[in-house]
């Protein structure tokens, strides 16, 4: 993880990660344009034999497809550069999460970019699109969702049912995170896996989520939760995965503030 940048009072993560996704997107578009050209050119002769107007209809349909692809790509890049809400930017987030991301993983594999790097890039791009949308959420409808591995491994207290059971000894960051949720009056919960996380979301019906997890859980969580906006924050794993993990509290605070209406801050 590199240094965060401060921009308009919001901590933005390093930009190069986002470029990975955009780079892969451009390569995918070029390949798709080539395939569309082949799909257009090859059957053109055969269609003419069926009906004289079919080649025109076929060309028009593919032209609309290319137009949508180009405008979608440009809109995405424009939203990223501008950092503000543009037309359909909430829909763009859905397209990025549900359609483009699986393509990008495949494309990353082909050009030698690791799955983890594409996932990090996707998370950063998603966060950017969520922030561009300027979500406004009441504190009671904002949920901070944490992975169980943030709790100190030796701690005997059960916090999965109720995180407020934490005694605040300070051996792990659960203490700071509970204090943060008390300060901003937002909901906070710990999930031991995807199934429990989904249940917590269904029960709480949040308008926004600040989720802390590893690359895999965050990407699937962002995809599954759509259209609920999620700011994803990667956990830190100084002792390896799923064991005594950590999180930058300032990033969680920044994620909460991204959602709250000004009077709730």
CB of 163 to ligand SF4, least distance (A): 8
Q: What is the DSSP string of the chain?
A: ----EEETTEEEPPSHHHHHHHHHHHHHHHHHHHHHHHHHHTTHHHHHHH-TTHHHHHHHHHHHHHHHHHHHHHHHHHHHHH-S--TTHHHHHHHIIIIIHHHHHHHHHHHT--HHHHHHHHHHHHHHHHHHT---B-GGGEEEEEEGGGS-TT-----SS-GGG----SSSTHHHHHHHHHHHT-EEEEESSHHHHHHHHHHH--SEEEEEE-HHHHHHHHHHHTTS-EEEEE-B-TT-TTSS-B--HHHHHHHHHHHB-GGG-
96 forms part of the interface with ligand SF4 (CB under 6 A):
no
Contact residue for ligand SF4 among 84, 167, 183, 199 (CB under 6 A): 167
174 forms part of the interface with ligand SF4 (CB under 6 A):
yes
CB of 220 to ligand SF4, least distance (A): 25
Please say which residue, 62 or 155, places its beta carbon nearer to ligand SF4: 155
244 forms part of the interface with ligand SF4 (CB under 6 A):
no
152 forms part of the interface with ligand SF4 (CB under 6 A):
yes
181 forms part of the interface with ligand SF4 (CB under 6 A):
no
Contact residue for ligand SF4 among 171, 187, 237, 253 (CB under 6 A): 171
172 forms part of the interface with ligand SF4 (CB under 6 A):
yes
Footprint of ligand SF4 on this chain (CB under 6 A)? 151-152, 155, 157, 159, 166-172, 174-175
């Amino acid at each position: 993880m590199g240094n965060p940048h401060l921009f308009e009072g919001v901590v933005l993560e390093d930009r190069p990660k986002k470029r990975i996704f955009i780079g892969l997107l451009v390569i995918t578009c070029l390949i798709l344009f080539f395939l569309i050209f082949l799909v257009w050119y090859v059957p053109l002769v055969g269609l003419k034999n069926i009906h004289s107007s079919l080649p025109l209809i076929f060309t028009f349909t593919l032209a609309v497809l290319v137009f949508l692809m180009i405008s979608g790509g440009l809109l995405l890049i424009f939203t990223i550069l501008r950092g503000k809400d543009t037309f359909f930017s909430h829909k763009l987030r859905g397209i990025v999460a549900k359609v483009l991301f699986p393509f990008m993983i495949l494309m990353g594999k082909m050009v030698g970019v690791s799955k983890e790097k594409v996932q990090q890039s996707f998370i950063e791009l998603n966060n950017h699109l969520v922030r561009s949308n300027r979500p406004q959420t009441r504190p009671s409808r904002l949920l901070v969702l944490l992975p169980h591995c943030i709790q100190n491994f030796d701690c005997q207290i059960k916090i999965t049912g109720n995180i407020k059971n934490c005694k605040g000894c300070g051996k792990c960051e659960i203490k700071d995170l509970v204090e943060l949720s008390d300060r901003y009056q937002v909901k906070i919960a710990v999930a031991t896996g995807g199934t429990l996380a989904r249940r917590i979301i269904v029960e709480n019906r949040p308008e926004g989520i600040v989720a802390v997890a590893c690359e895999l859980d965050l990407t699937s969580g962002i995809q599954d939760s759509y259209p609920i906006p999620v700011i994803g924050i990667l956990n830190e794993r100084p002792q390896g995965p799923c064991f005594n993990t950590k999180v930058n509290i300032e990033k969680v605070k920044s994620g909460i503030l991204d959602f709250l209406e000004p009077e709730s801050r």
